[in-house]
Structures are given as C-alpha cells and as structure tokens.
Structure 1
Amino acid sequence: MTKVENFTTLSCAECAGGAGLGFEISMAYQPIVDVQKKQMFAQEALVRGPQNQSAAHIFRQVNDGNRYRFDQSCRVTALKTAAQIGIEGFLSINFLPRAVYRPELCIRTTLAAAEEFGYPISNIIFEINEVEKVDDPSHLSDIIADYKQRGFKTAIDDFGAGYSGLNLLADIPVDFVKLDMILIRNVDSHPTRQHIVKGILQLCADLGVQVIAEGVETYEEMATLRDLGIELLQGFYFAKPAFQAQAVVSEHVYSSPQ
C-alpha cells in the first residue's frame, strides 16, 4: 500500500530545497503572448529535473506519499526561479488539486514565497490540469474560491482534452480557459475545429472568461486563431520552454513568412 504523507505546512526553504521529496526539481518557462499587442502576456512555469529532465520523468516519481510536498515545492521553485531570472507580468503555475487538503492552510507557503521573492499575488495564475480527473468538484470549487478571494487568477488547463471541462466551467468561476492542442492542431485547415473554437469563444465571452490557445506550432494556426478572435496564444511556434531562463519571442513570428 502506498504511504500517504503527513500534511504539514512547509517553509519556503524546505520547499525550494525539495525537503522530503527524494528527488530534485527545477523549472523551464514558456511564454504566453498577446498577438494583438505583439508582446509577452505571461510565462508558464513547467517542472523539469535539475539537468532539464522532462516533466514526464519527474511525474513518474510523484505518488500519494509525496504529492503534497511536490505540489508545494513546485510553487515555491517556480516563484523563486522566476524572481531570479527577472520575469515580470503574469506567472502561470500548475497545481494538483488532490494535493490541497485545506486551501487556507496549503496556500500559506505560496503566500510566504510570493512575499519573500517580491512577486505580486495579482500576477500569479494557478492552472487546474483538466486531464487529471476531478473526484471532488466541491473541494476544487472551494480551492478556487479561496484563491480568487486572495487575489490569484485561475485557469482551466487542457480544456477539451480531459474528463469534465464543461462541468468545471459551469461550476467553477475561473479567469482563463486554455484550449488543448488537440483543438488547435491544423485548425487553419479544419473547419470543424474552427466551429468548435468559435463556439467555445462565444461561451467564454458570455461567462467573462478569457481564452488562451496552447500548442500553436505554425504561422497558419496562429493567424487563424488570431482571426477567430483569440488574443492569447502559446506554443512552440513562439518559443520552446527555456530551462531556468526567460523564453524570448522574436518579432518575426507575427508576420507572414516569405
């Protein structure tokens, strides 16, 4: 049987040092760009190993015995590294809902880290990974309500790829929805996907939710999504995740290739 860890509030130093995890983590950062303003909107923190090992390599080591410490360490490491490399504006951090046993207690380390590293609460976006099945929607709703009351922004990640995207959107008042790359791939030549994206855009507009398209890989995808009305885009077309550094977006990505 897997040992379930004892939930205790951790200090910033413990989290940043990976106390009790049994493995080390670091972060890479990928930009979310505003294609209308042609500027950076946010950077998403993506977990990596200390030598830039993949996220999959790291997640294979996460279990019920270290999930809470892993989630806490990811938050603090994301904030610490972002401060060290000078990221300004929004910082997007993924979190594991099943690692949050009581939101008002589990957020303490994040609040302390934000204060220590000088990162404004209003600039932090917490992403719910929609691929991970949500077993207790009311618990997740309580988490998001607590985070929003404190001034954090929230987002549903991988919308359209997992178990209950529309149910989450109906029950949980988030600020952003991130469209999964399965809807984005070849959207420029796929009328059905274009209609689905249009429908989601209209739905989100009615709900006051902003849409981010992730997984953009070509100019044609970018141009189509921009013309459909999506202003915030993310993907390899703009920049691959930069290990322990800010990713740079070149101006030429906004212009039609010659």
Structure 2
Amino acid sequence: MNKPTELFDESHCEQCACGEGLDFSFTFAFQPIVDITSETVYAYEALVRGPEGEGAYSVLSKVNEKNRYSFDQICRVKAVKLAARLGMETMLSINFMPNAVYNPEYCIRTTLAAAQTYKFDTRKIIFELIETEDLSSLDHLVKIINSYRGMGFHTALDDFGAGYSRYNILMASPPDLLKLDMGLVRDIHKEPNKQAVVAGIITMMSQLGGRIVAEGVEVEEEYFWLRSQGITLFQGYLFARPGFECLPKPYFPC
C-alpha cells in the first residue's frame, strides 16, 4: 500500500476517542460506479444509512458542530471495515466533510489505521468532497486535496453543477474525478441548454486530466446521450440501486 507509515497509530482505530460524541448508530449501503468500456464496477460509493436501512437524512440530521469530527472519522472506519468484510476488490468512494478536517495529515490517521487493521489497500480509496454552499475556504480545500493525493488516495468533487460549482477548486487543484450533479443529468437527452453546459464541462475536465462520473442516471436515453459525448463512468438507478450492506451487481444497457 502507498501510505505514510509514520502516521499509523492503532490508538486512533475504531475503538478509541474518535468515536466519542456520537449517541446514534449507522451503517452503509453501497452503489456501484460502473465503467461501461469494460462493463465492470469501477468503484462502490458508501452511502450512509440507519442501522435498519433508514435513509441518509435519518442519520445526517443528527450531525452537528459538536459531533461532526467524530462522525466524519467513524464514517471512514465503518466504510473501510464493511468494504473489507464484503470482499470489495474495486475502489471505495467515501464522502467526507471538509469542515471536519482541521488538519489533513492528522485527521487521516484513523483511516490509515483502519485500512491497515482490515487489510484494505489505501490506493483503492476515493474521498468525495461534497459540494455545498458552506464549504471551507479554498486554501483549506486545496490543502486537503493535495494532502490526500500525496498519500496515494484519489479525490472526487461531488454534485458538480448543483448550484455551488467551485471552479476555483478545479483551477487550483483539479480532483481525479468530477461527478455531474443529477440535476444536469436529468432529461439531458432532450434539453439543449443542459447539453451545451455538460459538453463544456467534459472539454474542461479532459484538458485538466480528470474523468467525469455521470451520477443519478435513471433512463437509457440519458445514458446514451452522455455516452455519445465520451463519458465512460456512470452511477444511478439505471445500473443499480444502493444495496444495504452488500455489493449489488450492476446492469449494463446494450
């Protein structure tokens, strides 16, 4: 594994203080990101769920300023542990909260320890930066992206085009993956304005050296238009719904 071994510390694993401050439990569902060129699963995204399969909101609504760091840390551990238990051989995509990462090198130690404990290759981990209005400063975000990349992780910018598009991140430190928001994807096969916007994003990412993931794809018409533009990574109900604590096998349109 490509990792800075000096950061490993078993005291930062799942049983330690990083879990303090949480008075609720949660688990994950996994949804595949497929590569249509090889008809294989490129990655599985870990989607937070309640212990009985309740939706993400039932968990995320309990996250606040006091427990955000603990939640972010234990999310990583649980995702790695469950992925290892299920025998995941693909990439694992984990969402993270930039406001919970006060120091990338320090805050990553729990993830590294979990990967070592559960024998999960850190080179298979993608950290997805959730694009929201209240993201941290550009300097902080760029520091996180650069630090994670330097440790051998992949990075992704999620929900691009949702209304808070951070082109400044792309200019300062382009992530490996850019995930198109489902709002751009929906009905794109019959909306010329969306087609023009997405075509521009595709050209931009190609020149930046990254790849695009079209997420939220639900119908074949959306898929075929996006595929015709050169996109090869897809995620959405058309291929597979999230599987609760399991790795669903995807469907590939002809």
TM-score (norm 1): 0.91
SS, match of residue 254 in structure 1? coil
Aligned ranges 1:117-136 → 2 under 5 Å: 117-136=118-137
Q: What residue number does 2:231 align with?
A: 230
- 8 Å contact kept, 2:14–2:74: no
Q: Could you tell me how far 1:173 is from its partner in structure 2? A: 2.5
Q: Given residue 55 of structure 2, which amino acid in structure 1 is its aligned partner? A: S
Q: Could you tell me how far 1:244 is from its partner in structure 2? A: 0.4
> Size of the alignment, in residue pairs?
245
Aligned ranges 1:25-36 → 2 under 5 Å: 25-36=26-37
Q: Matched residues in 2 for 1:212 and 1:164: separation? A: 15
SS, match of residue 102 in structure 2? coil
Which shows bigger deviation, 155-164 or 237-246? 155-164
Distance 1:144 1:75, change over 3 A: same
Distance 1:79 1:15, change over 3 A: farther
Q: Matched residues in 1 for 2:20 and 2:51: separation? A: 15
Q: What residue number does 1:91 align with?
A: 92
Q: Could you tell me how far 1:148 is from its partner in structure 2? A: 0.6
Q: Matched residues in 1 for 2:219 and 2:207: separation? A: 29
> Deviations 1:90-131 (Å, cap 9, x if unpaired)?
110000000011111100000011111111111100000012
Q: What residue number does 2:103 align with?
A: 102
Q: Could you tell me how far 1:10 is from its partner in structure 2? A: 6.5
Q: Matched residues in 2 for 1:58 and 1:168: separation? A: 28
Which shows bigger deviation, 11-20 or 222-231? 11-20
Q: What residue number does 1:254 align with?
A: 253
Q: What residue number does 2:222 align with?
A: 221
Which shows bigger deviation, 148-157 or 116-125? 116-125
- 8 Å contact kept, 2:72–2:100: yes
Q: Given residue 59 of structure 2, which amino acid in structure 1 is its aligned partner? A: I
Q: Could you tell me how far 1:35 is from its partner in structure 2? A: 1.2
Tell me the percent identity. 48
> Deviations 1:180-233 (Å, cap 9, x if unpaired)?
000000111112211111110100000101100000000111111111110000
Distance 1:15 1:195, change over 3 A: farther
SS, match of residue 118 in structure 1? coil
Structure 2 spans left out of the alignment, 5+ residues: 1-9
> Deviations 1:35-77 (Å, cap 9, x if unpaired)?
1211111100011111111111111100010000000011011
- CA RMSD, aligned part only? 1.7
Q: Matched residues in 1 for 2:37 and 2:142: separation? A: 32
